[in-house]
Amino acid sequence: MRLFSLAVLLTALVGTAAEAAPTPPVQTTGTVRRHLIYFRDKAGTPFTIAQPQAFLSARAVQRRQRQNIPVQPRDLPVSPTYVAQVKATSGVQLWYTSRWFNAAVVACDSVALGRLQALPFVRSAQTLNRTTRSSTRSLPAEPTSTEAAASVADLLTTRDKNYGQAFWQADMIGAVALHNAGFRGEGMHIAVLDAGFPGVNQSAPFASMRNENRLLSTFDFVGRDRGVYERNSHGTNTLSCMAGNLATTYIGTAPKASYHLLLTEDVSSEHPIEEANWLIAAEYADSAGVDIISSSLGYTTFDFPSRSHTYADMNGRTSVASRAATMAARAGILVVNSAGNDGGSAWRYIGAPADADSVLTVGAVDSLGVIAGFSSVGPTADGRIKPNLAAQGYLAAFVTTGGGVARGNGTSFACPVLAGTAAAFWQANPTLTAQQVMHWLQRSASLADNPNNFLGYGIPNAERANTLAKNGGTIPDGELSIFPNPAGRDLFLNLPAELRNQALRVVIYDVRGALVAEKIMSPSAAAQVPLQPEPLRSGMYLCTVEPQSGGKSRTLRFMQH
């Protein structure tokens, strides 16, 4: 397996880390806390936007060039002169620097903080943690046991045994169709920001990623080392939704993509320092040249005495993580973030960075396409539609640390299921920009013409998005399709020429595989024919169409309101 030296990448490419390890602990008399120190400018920097290769990888530069995004002054590393003076300040320990925020993360007590704020180039300071008190907080995945998962799986139709229990959540949004067309994420680089990845270095579902050198780098931004196969299993579970690749057991939505595993979340407490970790990790991902960030993290409420966010903060411009996500999107990265699991709580709304503009925020549905009760809703505080799209997050299948398969609930799973699908779609359409990828996925979705703040534009269909993107936003005349979709009282079939003037056998199943309707349609020369099934309950359905005389069977998906 190939693991880049993060110390080298962080210094030579990113410019976010001051050195391979934080400056040695300092002698203090007060409580040491983390702070984000903002600088006034980047005066004295030896770097220029004309020479981006000095601080960005070739792949990061190429990603910008491919999307016509110029390197900006915000991409320049902070002034080395300022860094040196911060490190020389008595009582200060330098952890990271931030290009995008022109800032540094430091650890010091209040006396040393006063010394920093007195420096002429320091503009302001923001405290990131106020206590070392342990928290009982847990991440929003709620897995069932493996045994329970097996009984649930019996209810779901596995039409392709190769995918194991992951079939439906991938097929629901068109990932399986893209895989069958040869797009499984090859050549796409995905950074996963999470709370730990135990078992990824050993278990069988991740073996192909390891053996094919598609595990590109790891880094723990909490402990500031490369050890990520520890701490919380949440990252292992979410990663598997994309990277799992073990035939007949589990196949994720981007089983051939390449990955950076970045640990940013400290589950022992909840303070804004984790948003700063998210920022630094996103800058690292940018410099390493990733295409997609998958983040099943969100921030609303912090442990006392740190100040929690308010709904008014959810405007995409206030929180550290949301501002960082916006910067990543402006650099040409597709940022995919879970909406959050507060839909059934008093808060209800999405968190940060899901509120950020240009971020693909993902809500959760069940296998029938019905919104999960826990899925956080929009709008943002400034009135924008959120989430953007939805995928299965209720009883979603994932890989455990031991390599088994279980099911659990959370937008944490919906996010990577969709992020991996986006990678396969982008692979199929490599000339698109990150924002165009999001656009076409939204255009393909079940609520594209009538988005709302529960499911956004709805459940996407990556196969349909691929057709739309390649045909300038239109479905070619004569392609087999169902409309309207989502369906109302009336339902019609669009027939291609080869299916006209012959009797057709049409069968409708629900997603459990139960037969709902079956009929023989008389030959018709019309391009559009009424389907007229019996009234259907709300949910997702599969419709197979084949000539009665024999021939290729075609399957369509549609949603009934």
Closest Cα partner for 425 from 243, 236, 325, 292?
292
CA gap 21, 225 in Å, rounded: 8
**Catalytic annotation, pick one of 75, 194, 220, 366:** 194
Told to judge if 412 belongs to the known catalytic residues of this protein, a careful annotator would answer yes
Residue 375 neighbours by CB under 8 Å, 6+ apart:
339, 340, 341, 343, 363, 364, 365, 387, 390, 393, 411, 414, 454
Sign of CA dihedral 222, 225, 228, 231: negative
- For the chain, helix, strand, coil in percent to 5 are 25, 25, 50
Helices (H) and strands (E) in the chain, counts: 14, 23
**Catalytic hit among 179, 189, 234, 271:** 234
How would you class 196 by CB atoms within 10 Å of its CB: exposed for 0-12, middle for 13-18, buried for 19 or more? buried
DSSP string computed for 348-392: -B--BTTTSTT-EEEEEE-TTSPBPTT--B---TT------EEEE
d(CA 526, CA 524): 5
User: Could you tell me if 78 and 42 are in contact, meaning their C-beta atoms sit under 8 angstroms apart?
Assistant: yes
Say if residue 430 is preceded by a cis peptide, omega within 30 of 0.
no
Calculate the CA dihedral of residues 117, 121, 127, 131 and round it to 10 degrees. -60
DSSP state of 505: E
The Cβ of residue 286 has, within 10 Å, a number of other Cβ atoms equal to 29
Which is catalytic among the residues 240, 295, 412, 446?
412
Which tokens sit at 239? 């990663």
CA distance 222 to 511: 42
Active site residue 194: yes
Whether the Cβ atoms of residue 223 and residue 267 lie closer than 8 Å to each other? no
CA nearest to 511, candidates 365, 409, 402 = 365
What residue has token string 């309207």?
A: 484
Residue type at position 324: A
Listed residue (34, 484, 42, 32) closest to 279, CA to CA: 34
CA atoms of 179 and 255, how far apart (whole Å): 9
Phi-psi region of 275 (alpha: psi -120 to 50; beta: other; left: phi over 0): alpha
* Catalytic status, residue 234: yes
Q: In sequence order, what are the beta bridge partners of 38?
A: 103, 124
User: Strand pairing partners for 164?
Assistant: 250
Q: Which two tokens stand for residue 201?
A: 């270095």
Please give the structure tokens belonging to residue 173. Answer: 């949004």
Q: How far apart are CA 265 and CA 475, in angstroms?
A: 43
Contact call for residues 179 and 424 (beta carbons, < 8 A): yes
The residues that are catalytic are 194, 234, 412
